[in-house]
Amino acid sequence: MAAPHQQHQAGLTQNLPQTDPLIDLDNVREQLNRRIQHEVEDLQRRIIALQNAQSLGSECIIATYSRMIENKRRFLLDLDD
């Protein structure tokens, strides 16, 4: 006889609706796309703030943020392929 927790786990998996893996993948892609877009927007706001502040080292930070934005955009393009 199976242990009680194994019986409970088996019962849970039997009651779950079957989902289409492609639909799940599309949902993950959409969530990832939204999150990365939000991160890009945040980095763009940071760049603007640094451009306005002109603090020591801001050019280096702006260049780094710009590379991060390009990498994130490239990732999104690759994700769609």
pLDDT in tens, 54-63: 789 999 999 9
* Single pTM value for the model: 0.68
Asked if 41 contacts 69 with a C-beta cutoff of 8 angstroms, the reply is no
Q: Does residue 80 surpass a pLDDT of 70?
A: yes
Average pLDDT of span 32-47: 97
Distances (CA, A) of 26 to 22, 37, 44, 74: 6, 16, 27, 18
pLDDT in tens, 6-21: 555 555 555 556 667 7
